[in-house]
Amino acid sequence: MKRIKGFILYKGPSALTGEPIVCIATMATHNKKTGDMIQTWIIRSRIRPEKAAKDGKDAAVCGDCPLRPVTEGLCYVNTGQAPLAVYSAFKRGSYVKLDLRLKAHRQAFAGRALRIGSYGEPTAIPIAVWDKLTPLVSGHTGYTHQWAKFPEFRRLVMASVHSEFEADCAQTSGWRTFRTRNADQPVMPGEVMCPASPEADNRRTCSTCLGCNGNASGSRIRRSFVIVGHGKKGIARMLTQFHNQVQ
């Protein structure tokens, strides 16, 4: 049987704006930080991702994320690279529609780790899509900036936050958080440094940690994670200024 490069998990209206989007899972990755994980891409289905980001039409897949190119411009994802490659392959018909009634489709996910939202907001598509996949995989990671609007996702993903105040608000609402900070800003009580970060000596990858998997148990004991903002030199400098502003 021909190896499947990727699956179309969802194609339909965005839960954020109602505009047409698609969510695609790709089965191979070269991402050293995440390690061997199935990657998922939430993109506009009729607009190239780099054009959508430039024109502000990425709200359908990014919501009101403060890091979007039309706001602070601090997103570390280069939409002209992996997201564009996925979009182009989608347009060529390279991916098959996921059908979990088929054993081969279920086996493609079995025993693998899943990254929910390699690009794009997990909350842009129905939570039922993720609920069907997560029981099949060995573990998952995921993050959302839309945590205040989609509380049902807290059992699956982490709240992406950028200040101590924001982290405290999300944690009070039952979320575990993943916070970015400057190197000179402290680690809060209840937080640990991301083990896949340089400041933690990159001792693990996301695929061997899988700690960013939300708060299904509703635990107030499980730790949240924090990482020093990273990116190319210019982005890193802008992130430093951003963190100073939002504190």
C-alpha 226: how far from its chain's center?
A: 15
Write out pLDDT tens, residues 201-229. Answer: 999 999 999 999 999 988 888 999 999 98
- What pLDDT is attached to residue 220? 83
Q: What pLDDT band is residue 5 in, cutting at 50, 70 and 90?
A: very high
User: Which distant-in-sequence residues (6+ apart) come within 8 Å of 242 by Cβ?
Assistant: 66, 72, 74, 162, 229
User: Could you state, in order of their start, the residue ranges of all structural domains in the chain?
Assistant: 6-246
Residue-wise pLDDT for 46-73, tens only, equals: 999 999 999 999 999 999 999 999 987 8
pLDDT tens digits for range 136-169: 999 999 999 999 999 999 999 999 999 999 999 9
CB 215 within 8 A of CB 176: yes
pTM for the predicted model, two decimal places: 0.92
Task: Tell me the C-alpha distance between 36 and 27, whole Å.
Answer: 9
